[in-house]
Amino acid sequence: MMPDLGKYAGEVLSSYGASLVLLIGLVVMSLRASAKAKKALEALEKDRANG
């Protein structure tokens, strides 16, 4: 299933691992930013409805 990477296997696999970690980090950061923006919007809408 895994292709033969030859003498560069370590470098290639570590690059894949680093890319995966960075992608997961970006997804987590995006989800957190989305939740923060949603809370801020809900607070503004609540203030506007009461004001």
C-alpha torsion angle, residues 32, 14, 5, 27 (rounded to 10)? 0
Q: 5 and 12 in contact (C-beta within 8 Å)?
A: yes
16 closest CA partner among 28, 5, 7, 27: 5
Q: What is the pLDDT of residue 42?
A: 96
pTM value is 0.75
What is d(CA 27, CA 32) in angstroms, rounded to the nearest whole number?
Answer: 9
Q: What is the pLDDT of residue 34?
A: 98
Q: What is the pLDDT of residue 5?
A: 85
User: What pLDDT, in 10s, does the model give residues 1-51?
Assistant: 778 889 999 999 999 999 999 999 999 999 999 999 999 999 999 999 887
Q: What is the pLDDT of residue 50?
A: 85
